[in-house]
Amino acid sequence: MSKTATPRVKHSLLSDFKEITKMRLALSVVFSSIAGYLLGVDEVSFKVLALLALGGYFMVGASNAFNQIIEKDLDVLMHRTRNRPIPAGRMSVKTAFIIASVFTVLGLSILYSINKQTAMFGAISIFLYTCVYTPLKTKTPLSVFVGAIPGAIPFMLGWVAATDTFGIEPGTLFALQFFWQFPHFWAIGWFLYTDYKRGGFFMLPTGKQDKGTAVQTIMYTIWTILISIVPVFGITGELKLSIIAAVIVFAFGLFMLFYAIQLFKKMTEKAAKQLMLASVLYITLIQIVYVIDKFIR
């Protein structure tokens, strides 16, 4: 294409695909599954790793596409979401439904080829996200607790893919990512409060940007930090953490806690945005530390 023929349409098929599957979020979810796999596995199989990444992406992509079909009339009301492919009219509901259905079948089949339990947890995730969390979002802020279940499954899913067993180890990984989601999401719910209100969503625990929400955000950050260091005490079976790694993970936790406290003190959207960024950095970094620690221990 010549330089003068700059396309006027900003959205391509590829960008629509990225949006309907929410690529950035999906990749970070897949990242946590890979971390869980590396933590659980004795000998890395690149085949299983690739299947997990692909199957995981299909499942999360399908969940997000179903979610955008269900919420198309609400997404059109919010600034953040009104340019998504369906509300903006670039993708029909039928196309999105075909993508979501094909991805569900592909995702489940690929996860099943790893082992049955992995497919079962994948199925539970997509069911809870699309059939329970999404409809509950307009009804009660408690929906976030339901959404946090499929959100937390991917980290433990990796362990289950590696071992075909469920126990204290994947349970701990689940708990860690489960509790982390509250500071992550309430920070988002805070700075997107006005936009969410346009769509009729009240996602903060008290329904408002108030001290109550900020205190709960701090409390869940503390639970997250406590769970993150439990493996150092040798009570989580095969899931272990060295003292040095636990200190590093704890320090990252204090970093996130600092931003949660800043939100309490300042009560601003800027502080909430900073906490959201800190939360994403935190979960990525601690998963990396857990994995490195396993391989160098």
Ligand X SMILES: CC(C)=CCC/C(C)=C/CC/C(C)=C/COP(=O)(O)OP(=O)(O)O
Closest CB to ligand X belongs to which residue?
147
Residue 126 binds which of ligand X, ligand HEM, none (CB < 5-8 A, kind-dependent): ligand X
Here the tokens at position 252 are 């990252």
> Mind giving me the DSSP string for 270-290?
HHHHHHHHHHHHHHHHHHHHH
175 and 51 Cβ atoms separated by less than 8 Å: no
- Which residue in 39, 49, 53, 59 binds ligand X (CB under 6 A)? 59
Separation of alpha carbons 247 and 253, rounded Å: 10
224 and 176 Cβ atoms separated by less than 8 Å: yes
Q: From 123, 194, 181, select the one nearest 147 (Cα to Cα).
A: 181
- Report the phi/psi class of residue 202: left, alpha or beta, with left for phi > 0 and alpha for psi in -120 to 50: beta
What is the per-residue binding string for ligand HEM in 6-25, x denoting contact by CB under 6 A?
Answer: ----------------x-xx
Residue 286 binds which of ligand HEM, ligand X, none (CB < 5-8 A, kind-dependent): none
Residue 122 binds which of ligand X, ligand HEM, none (CB < 5-8 A, kind-dependent): ligand X
- Give the chain's length: 297
148-207 residues near ligand HEM, rule: CB under 6 A:
148, 151, 177, 181, 184-185, 188
Residue 129 binds which of ligand HEM, ligand X, none (CB < 5-8 A, kind-dependent): ligand X
Separation of alpha carbons 196 and 128, rounded Å: 21
- Which residue in 16, 19, 20, 29 binds ligand X (CB under 6 A)? 29
**Residue 231 in contact with ligand HEM, rule: CB under 6 A:** no
If the CB atoms of residues 68 and 177 are measured against ligand HEM, the closer one turns out to be 177
SS3 at position 201: coil
Which parts of this chain interact with ligand HEM (CB under 6 A)? Answer: 22, 24-25, 28-29, 32, 80, 144, 147-148, 151, 177, 181, 184-185, 188, 280, 283
